[in-house]
Amino acid sequence: MSKRTKISELLQSTDYGKEVTAKGWVRTFRNNQFIAINDGSGINNLQAVVSLDFPDEPLLRRLTTGASVSVTGELVESLGKGQKVEIKVKTLEILGDCDAEKFPLQPKKHSLEFLREKAHLRFRTTTFAAVFKIRHVLAFAIHKFFNDKGFVYMHTPIITASDAEGAGEMFKVTTLPFDATPRDEAGKVDFREDFFGKATNLTVSGQLEAELGAMAFGEVYTFGPTFRAENSNTARHAAEFWMIEPEVAFNDLGDNMQLAEDMLKYVIRYALDACPHEIEFLKTRLLEEEKQKPLDERSELDLHAKLQFCLEHEFQRLTYTEAIEILKNSNHNKKKKFKYIIESWGADLQSEHERYLVEKHFKKPVILTDYPKDIKAFYMRQNDDGKTVRAMDILFPGIGEIIGGSQREERLEQLEQRMKEMHIPAEELYWYLDTRRFGTVPHAGFGLGFERLIMFVTGMGNIRDVIPFPRTPKNAEF
């Protein structure tokens, strides 16, 4: 077999007259002469031109959208618009036929809902080729950012006996038979006969285990799948998603905010540099989509401008208390334009409030700190006022919260008291409390939902379109 050259390389080449081989899938075949081929190395297709006197007519009839081909020929300067080079076909081979009557991705506009049902094939569309290339680049950029800073990458358990968030919305893991589940004397499930000898579930966060690593390595991060059994059929929720969670010993909340801002700016800039064609394509796609919306619902910034917006501004830092005052006194609140009216301190901020602060009031990304302790998790460090904790959320345009984090409570007595107040059994988390017993230090960390980041960078409006095979209520296809 002749050695192929990637289409992304051929499109940049100026080796006119050189014989080359390209292999890929047919996107279109026009006028019995022009084949658009894509091999996945980029979102742009290569045009291969078959001469009008090509001898094998039956072979040309097999050139349908979706078929895989190998073409060999001379690389020539293109006379058509939209491409610099093309291949003048010398030999053509069909590697795999594709029945045009049955292949669902014919060259026409398909809805995102339709493509979700064809998730095993949607990578072959330009939109999803762009989205998942950006997903790859963002994942690499995150690893590179932390690696270059000397962080240790930790693989935290996917099966765990703890609930880091105290949420209770977890997937159970068991080998017990459903039709004959063993029971103890009280009639409860007897987990002593289960594989692990105790109740276990899929993890909701790697944070608690990452804190253990930070107490030895100083700087660690996790990047892995997490699971929530929330029955939430929304555009922002999935039952399986990926989280990035750094934990850093000796950091306070100020250090934590700076690390998060630096990381977000780094990965956004990396994506802009590495995926200019993909981001430009998605920007154009989004502008077309926006035209269908009423004027007052359209975004003020296009995709590229939105990304630049986050790079060019220092993130505004303010406390939850300051934010509540701004929101309470805003015309939006007074004229009841918010769906959830802000009436008093202690309100749990919604996405509409977060976006107002970013897009209308400050016109820059915002970091909110010092939330009421009653709406935050047990492990967050308590402030001296007895009402608030050293929490932080980073808010972005068009999305609201993208990162949540805190300085962790390193004082054993305060942590035990908080766990007691929130009915979290200390005996089950003895190992977590041991880090406070044996050489405790101030430390901080945050969590970034990877899919939220991808939604922001790609402009996609639904989490189902930024993860290859989404897991949502009543949906576990593929």
Contacts of 220 (CB under 8 A, 6+ apart): 151, 152, 153, 154, 210, 213, 214, 246, 247, 248
Task: Please check whether residue 177 lies inside any domain of the structure.
Answer: no
Same domain? 308 vs 221: yes
Same domain? 146 vs 12: no
Same domain? 98 vs 132: no
Contacts of 474 (CB under 8 A, 6+ apart): none
Q: From 436, 453, 347, select the one nearest 398 (Cα to Cα).
A: 453
What are φ and ψ of residue 66, in 5° steps?
A: 100, -20
Classify residue 253 as left (phi > 0), alpha (psi -120 to 50) or beta. Answer: alpha
Contacts of 113 (CB under 8 A, 6+ apart): none
CATH of the domain at 221: 3.30.930.10
* Helices 253-274 and 276-290: angle between axes, nearest 10 degrees: 90
What are φ and ψ of residue 338, in 5° steps?
A: -75, 140
Task: Please check whether residue 190 lies inside any domain of the structure.
Answer: no
Same domain? 222 vs 347: yes
For residues 284, 287, 288, 290, the Cα torsion angle rounded to the nearest 10 degrees is 160
Task: Please check whether residue 113 lies inside any domain of the structure.
Answer: no
Q: From 175, 205, 127, 143, select the one nearest 458 (Cα to Cα).
A: 127
Task: Please check whether residue 194 lies inside any domain of the structure.
Answer: no
pLDDT of residue 161: 87
Give the end of a domain, one of 84, 108, 132.
108
Task: Please check whether residue 362 lies inside any domain of the structure.
Answer: yes
393 beta partners: 368, 404
Same domain? 20 vs 151: no
Same domain? 135 vs 265: yes
Q: From 344, 407, 418, 340, select the one nearest 378 (Cα to Cα).
A: 418
Q: Which domain holds residue 232?
A: 124-169+204-465
Task: Please check whether residue 116 lies inside any domain of the structure.
Answer: no
Task: Please check whether residue 196 lies inside any domain of the structure.
Answer: no
* pLDDT one digit per residue (tens) for the chain, 478 residues: 569 999 999 999 999 999 999 999 999 999 999 999 999 999 999 999 999 999 899 999 999 999 999 999 999 999 877 789 999 999 999 999 999 999 999 988 999 999 999 999 999 999 999 999 999 999 999 999 999 999 999 999 999 987 666 555 899 999 999 888 999 888 889 999 999 999 999 999 999 999 999 999 999 999 999 999 988 888 888 999 999 999 999 999 999 999 999 999 999 999 999 999 999 999 999 999 888 888 877 788 899 999 999 999 999 999 999 999 999 999 999 999 999 999 999 999 999 999 999 999 999 999 999 999 999 999 999 999 999 999 999 999 888 899 999 999 999 999 999 999 998 889 989 999 999 999 999 999 999 999 999 999 999 999 999 999 999 999 999 8
Q: How far apart are CA 355 and CA 275, in angstroms?
A: 27
Q: Cβ distance 257 to 369 under 8 Å?
A: yes
Beta strands in 39-104 (DSSP E): 46-49, 68-77, 85-96
For the chain, the domain total comes to 2
CATH of the domain at 46: 2.40.50.140
- The order of strands in the sheet holding 240-249 is 152-154, 219-227, 240-249, 443-449, 400-407, 388-396, 366-372, 316-319
Task: Please check whether residue 358 lies inside any domain of the structure.
Answer: yes
* pTM summary value: 0.94
